[in-house]
Amino acid sequence: MKLWNTPITSLLANASLTVRFAVNSFICIGIMTSALWFMVSNYLINQIVEREWQTTAQIVRTDVRTFLEDYDFKAQDRKSVGHKFVALLEHMRLSPDIVRFKVYNPKGIVIWSDDKRLVGKSFIDNPQLQRALRGQVVADMSSLEKHENIFEPKSLSGAVEVYVPIYSESGRELLGVFETYRRPDSIFHAVREARAIVLFGAVGGGLLLYVSLFAIVRQAARKIDEQQENLLKIQSELVASQRMAAVGEMAAAVAHGIGNPLSSIRAAAQVAMLDTAAGDGSAKNQKMTENLQDIVQQVDRMQRRMQALLNFAKPLEPRPVPIEINSLVCDVVETCRARFSDAQVTTKLDLEANLPSVTSDVNHLEQALMGLITNAVEATPRGGIVTVRTRSCSPIGDGKIVEVSIEDTGEGIPIENRQRVFEPFFTTKPHGTGIGLSLAKKFLERNGATIVISDCSSAGTKIAFTLPRDAGATPTAKLQ
Ligand SMILES: Nc1ncnc2c1ncn2[C@@H]1O[C@H](COP(=O)(O)OP(=O)(O)OP(=O)(O)O)[C@@H](O)[C@H]1O
Ligand SMILES: [Mg+2]
């Protein structure tokens, strides 16, 4: 039987630990509960029934002692003692459970019955009777199927035959066996009650066990998940820090190898510019000055980039001070003014008045803002708009109180790239380094801020960050 290849087992194999435990333990506890119920109820029922038969035997023996003598079992003339058995039957019938009886002698022959057709017949082949003749109290619930009961009226169906051996007064001699017919209603009632109580107990216990085990396993599964999540986080942090260290080494090497020659180039270009400035002012001279200015500009750009790389790699120690965010935004936008006009992009400032001051490292915040605004300008086509917005937000949970967002009308960042753009060196620009956003994120996070990319009303990009409240009492910092 290929039980292990059924769809249910393969479904279970792929299920979570909690689901597998829930199903397996349900089956096991179900089997255990049923077995327990079966065993305990059987044991109890046997005990109840055994006690009932012993009680019946006790009653029968007491009544027999009251109404009969030893001689009544042995008398050859059965008619002379018959009235005593009739009197005994009348007495026994006063009890609603005992309906009638037959009396056997020690050879298994009926010596008295209210049904006279049975008197004198031998039933020695009846195994219950045989056991009773050996001195045991025997009960048989399937009495009506036996052929000595062929004349029993239908009303007795369901009665239990109880065979009670009767001994002489001295207790040594077996006088005969009383076969009593007992209605089993009270026994059945007791049995049903016992079964129900045991069932209730077993099911209650099983359920309690199931629920408590399930709760423990669910808690354990949650803990495992949490630990796995932490492990993954630690792993990715480790990878990021290793990457950072490598970038740091590389940046230092590049700065060392290129920094000095670059400074020399810049210095030479500046000296040459002095010469051209003192020249004749001809067109050629002017063209040369422009070229030299270009060289100086490009060298400055390269040095800035190198500085950015070094900044990115070196550990950041923020020096938080309370900041007026609106004035910082205005200053940064002003610095970028030339870029906006070069790119023919309009700036829109939507700054909420009376914003609470926030706490952050002013230089970190400035660089982050600069990186985000530069990206927005670079992404926006001519005639587009970059909107910088500041808003206060309710200080829920992590205590962030001011949101700054930069929204552009460019092409936007595809959903699948929204995580990757924060990775160092991820760029889609031919001359980009892919450092801007990762550096902005690093600066912001080191200052307790959170940065997110979201959809915006235009097709472009909206990048927003929220800053924590001003915790210090130092005077508000101005941009240097
Ligand atoms: N406002 C934006 N609109 C669309 N794409 C953006 C925007 N900002 C960032 N990106 C995407 O994220 C990438 C990474 O940006 P990031 O600033 O880190 O590097 P970069 O701009 O490519 O290079 P640089 O190091 O010069 O800034 C960009 O190449 C671009 O694909
Ligand atoms: Mg950039």
Question: Per residue in 117-162, pLDDT tens?
Answer: 899 999 989 999 999 999 999 988 664 344 444 444 444 456 788 9
The string of DSSP codes covering 117-141 is GGTT-B-TT-HHHHHHHTT--EEET
Check whether residue 126 and residue 180 sit in a common domain.
yes
325 plus 447 within the same structural domain: yes
Average confidence (pLDDT) over 80-96: 87
Name the closest-CA residue to atom 12, ligand 1.
Answer: 421
Tell me the per-residue pLDDT of 34-48, one tens digit each, with 9 for 90 and over: 998 899 888 888 888
DSSP tag of 381:
P
Mark whether 292 and 329 lie in a shared domain. Answer: no
Tell whether ligand 1 has an atom less than 6 A from the beta carbon of residue 436. Answer: yes
Tell me, yes or no, whether 448 lies in a domain: yes
Domain that holds residue 462: 317-468
Least confident of 84-88, 119-123, 182-186: 182-186
Tell me what the pLDDT averaged over the chain comes to: 84
Based on the domain organization, do 186 and 236 belong to the same domain?
Answer: no
Total of domains in the chain: 3
Check residue 153 and give its pLDDT: 45
Q: Which atom of ligand 1 is nearest to the CA of 437?
A: 18
| 59 and 166 in a common domain | yes
In this structure, the answer to whether residues 292 and 334 fall within a common structural domain is: no
CB-CB contact of 392 with 325 (8 Å): no
Quick one: 55 and 183 in the same domain?
Answer: yes
- Ligand 1 centroid to Cα of residue 314, in Å, is 21
Ligand nearest to the CA of 428: 1
Q: Is residue 435 lining ligand 1, measured as CB closer than 6 Å?
A: yes
CATH number assigned to the domain comprising residue 92: 3.30.450.20
Residue 328 has pLDDT above 90, yes or no: yes
Same domain, yes or no: 324 and 456: yes
**Burial of 142 from C-beta contacts in 10 A (0-12 / 13-18 / 19+):** exposed
What token pair was written down for 12? Answer: 């279970």
Q: Is 413 in the pocket of ligand 1 (CB under 6 A)?
A: yes
The reply to whether ligand 1 has any atom less than 6 angstroms from the CB of 426 is yes
User: Which of 191, 212, 245 finishes a domain?
Assistant: 191
Query: Please, are residues 3 and 27 in contact by the beta-carbon 8 Å criterion?
Result: no
Ligand 1 contacts CB of residue 429 (under 6 A): yes
Ligand 1 pocket residue status of 433, Cβ below 6 Å: yes
CA of 239 to the centre of ligand 1 (A): 22
Is the residue at 7 inside a domain? no
Helix (H) or strand (E) holding 386: strand 385-392
Q: Are residues 296 and 275 in the same domain?
A: yes
Q: How far is the CA of 250 from the centre of ligand 1 (A)?
A: 22
Residue 1 belongs to a domain: no
Beta strands in 290-344 (DSSP E): 321-323
Q: Residue 399 Cα, ligand 1 centroid: separation in angstroms?
A: 29
Query: How far apart, in whole angstroms, are the C-alpha atoms of residue 102 and residue 129?
Result: 11
Domain-embedded: residue 200: no
